[in-house]
Amino acid sequence: MFLLEHVSAELGLIQLLEKLFPESFKDVLNLAYFFVCDERSSYLYPYWLSEQHAPNVRRLYSTDISSLYQKLGENQQGAADFFDEWISLCSPSSGVYFDITSISSYSTSIDFVEWGYNRDDDNLAQVNMGLVCTKESQLPLYYQIYPGSISDVSTLNNCLKRLECFGIKDVILILDRGFCSKANISRLNGLQDKISFIQPMTFSLKLVKQLIKKYRRHMGKMENVFKFNEEILYRQEVSVELDGNPFKIHIYYNEKVDIDQRHCFLAGLLDIEKKIDTRKFESMKEYLAFRSDSIPNKFIKFFKLNRKRMTIVRNTRAISEHLAKAGYFLLLSNSKTHNCDSILDFYRSRDIVEKMFDVEKNELDGKRLRAYLAYNADGRVFVKFVALILHSYLSNMMRKTKLFERYTVREPLAELSKIRYSIIDGKILTSEISKSQRNILKAFNVTPEKMNLS
C-alpha cells in the first residue's frame, strides 16, 4: 500500500483530498487503494486493511462504507471543486478524449437509473457515465453521470459546458464516432475559438460516400502515401463546408486493411450463402421467419428474396456499397494548426478512454452500480474515480518501464505487500527487500529509503 501512498502524494491527490474532504480523505484513499489492489467486493475491505501497514486508519465495515458514500454523494460542491482543482493539477495542453458508457443497476429508487441503449447488452436499467481523459498524461480528468435514457449525442452539449467551466481550452477534443451528427458539429464549430476537435465520420453520411467515390482514384498515387508507425497509408485532405462553416476532412486509406476486411466479409457471406442456397419459400412470411432465425443480423441486408423464384439471392448493391468503404476512415476537424499526421496521431490514441472504461468495469468492480440510493451511488462512483486515477498512473508507468512484460497491474502491488513492518521503540523495522521488489520500486523511481524501508 505504501507504493500507492507514494503515487497519491506524487500526483497531489493526498493534498487535494485532504483540503476538500478533511474528515474523510484517509478513508477515501484507502478504499481506493483497496479497489486497485483487490478485485473482491468492498465488504471485505476491513480484512484486507488488517493485512496492510496502515497505522491510525480506521476499519470500515459495510455500514460504515455506505455512510461514507452517502456523505460524499451529498457533498456535490466538494466533488465539483475536486474536478476543478484536479484538472488544474493535470494542466491538459494537447488533447482530451470524451466518451460514454453504461453502468447497469438493479435499483428502482434512483432517478437517473433508466432504460436505454445498454452498451454491455445487459437486460437491466442503467445510468450513463461520460468520462474525459488527457492524451499526454493518459489520466482521467473528470466524469459525469447522466440518466440511462440519454443518448450519446445529447451528452455532448453538457460536456462542452463543463469543459468551459473547468477552463479547459487550447486543446483538441477527440470524440467517438457515435457523436457524429450535423447538430453536434455545428455546436462544436460555435466554440472553435475556444476548442478544436476531431470527429470520426460515419459511413452512413451521404457526404462521406461522395468523398470516397470522388477521391478513390487519388488514394493510390505515390504523392499521397506515407508511413505512420509501421502502417502504410494513403491520405487526402479536403476542404468542405457544413451549414456554411469551413472544415477539413482528412481521408485515410489502408490497402492491407482493405484486403483483410474484404476477405473477412466475403468469407462470412459465402458461408451463409452455402447454407441457404437451395432453400425455397412458399410465402414472404416464411422467408422473413427463416431470415430471422438463420442469417446473422449484420448480414441480413446483404441478402434479399427473389420474388419470382422465391429463393434468397445476394443483394449486390448493398454488398458493393459495403465493400466500397473497406480500408477507409475519415476524420473531420476544425483545427487550423494540426496536419494529417498529427490529426491521425490524436485519433489513434482515442482508445485511452475505452481502456479506462474496461478497467473501471472489470478490474475496479464498477460494472454494476451496486447502490440503491442516489447519493450513495454518487459517493461510490467518486471513490472508484480516485481508484481509476491511481490505476491509470500505475499502468502508464508500467508501460514505460516495460513491467507489463512480466506483471499485471496488481502483481507488483502484491509483491510489495510481502514486505513486513514491525515497530520497536517507535522505530519502523522491515523485512528484507528482495531483488524483484527493488526492481519494482526502481521502475516507479522510488528508493527503499524513500519509503522508510531499509
What does the block give as the cell for 429? 523495522
Q: Are 157 and 165 in contact (CB under 8 A)?
A: no
pLDDT of residue 454: 41
pLDDT of residue 192: 47
Cα 347 to Cα 331: distance, rounded to the nearest angstrom: 8
pTM comes to 0.73
Q: Tell me which residue of 158, 163, 131, 128 sits closest to 146, measured CA to CA.
A: 128
Give the distance from CA 35 to its chain's centroid.
Answer: 18
Longest CA–CA separation in the chain, Å: 96
Cα 9 to Cα 306: distance, rounded to the nearest angstrom: 69
pLDDT of residue 453: 47
Write the CA distances from 77 to 21, 80, 117, integer angstroms: 11, 5, 30
What does the block give as the cell for 12? 497531489
CA angle 58, 432, 451 (to 5 degrees): 50
Q: Taking the CA of residue 52 as centre, how many other CA atoms within 13 Å lie in the half-sphere pointing to its CB?
A: 24
Tens-digit pLDDT string for the chain (454 aa): 778 888 999 999 999 999 999 999 999 999 999 888 887 778 788 877 777 766 667 788 889 989 999 999 999 999 989 998 998 888 877 677 777 777 776 565 556 565 655 555 665 677 777 888 887 788 888 888 876 566 555 666 677 777 777 777 666 777 777 667 776 776 666 554 556 788 888 888 888 999 999 999 888 889 999 988 888 999 999 998 877 778 889 999 999 999 999 999 999 999 999 888 778 898 999 999 999 888 999 999 999 999 988 999 999 999 999 999 999 999 988 877 778 888 888 887 777 777 777 776 666 656 666 666 778 888 888 999 999 999 999 988 888 888 888 888 888 888 888 777 666 666 666 667 888 888 888 888 887 666 554 4
